[in-house]
Structure 1
Amino acid sequence: MSQYIFDLGISANQMQRYYQGQVQVVVVRSLQGKVIHLHPRFLRPFVSANGVHGRFKLTLDLNGQFNELIKIS
């Protein structure tokens, strides 16, 4: 399994573009330097009135598929 830590700051207005289907993926750079393409549906549990903000840990399975996303701060 692979784990990646990244910081995310998406405003509520920006998140609206994902919900409207205008944007298909969230692109982030992990603290390790890897560029990650993440489907916005994985961020839904973390959306607040201010959008999505914080530090996250993404875990991928042995095939590189989504396993878990947790907010760590």
Structure 2
Amino acid sequence: MKRFEFRLNISPEQYLPYYRGEVRMVVVSLPNGQSISFPASLLRKFLHAEGIHGDFILSCDDQNRGAELQRKPAE
């Protein structure tokens, strides 16, 4: 299983194209300089009036299928 950790800071205005379905994939930069993409629909459950902010973990199988996004627990 693959696991990617990253931080998101998306304002409500920045999220609108994803919410409307105009943009379907989110591309994020990882701390090591790599970029990954995942379906924007995975962000919906994290959207609040302030947008989407925090540390997240994206998990998927070795074929990059079955993506699951969760908020990283506070340390």
TM class by smaller structure:
0.7 to 0.9
Question: Shift in Å at residue 38 of structure 1?
Answer: 1.6
Return the alpha-carbon distance in structure 2 between the equivalents of residues 23 and 59 of structure 1: 21
| TM-score normalised by length of structure 1 | 0.86
Unaligned stretches of 5+ residues in structure 1? none
Question: Shift in Å at residue 51 of structure 1?
Answer: 0.9
Show the counterpart of 1:63.
63
Percent identity over the alignment is 37
Show the counterpart of 1:40.
40
Unaligned stretches of 5+ residues in structure 2? none
CA-to-aligned-CA distance 1:10-44 (integer Å, 9 cap, x gap)? 11011111122332221101223321112110001
Return the alpha-carbon distance in structure 1 between the equivalents of residues 14 and 54 of structure 2: 15
Instruction: Quote the RMSD (CA, aligned, Å).
Output: 1.4
Do the aligned partners of residues 66 and 9 (structure 1) sit closer, same or farther apart at CA in structure 2, a change above 3 Å counting?
A: farther
Q: 4+ residue runs of structure 1 moved beyond 3 angstroms?
A: none
| More off after superposition, 21-30 vs 37-46 | 21-30
Do the aligned partners of residues 4 and 69 (structure 1) sit closer, same or farther apart at CA in structure 2, a change above 3 Å counting?
A: same
Return the alpha-carbon distance in structure 2 between the equivalents of residues 37 and 25 of structure 1: 6
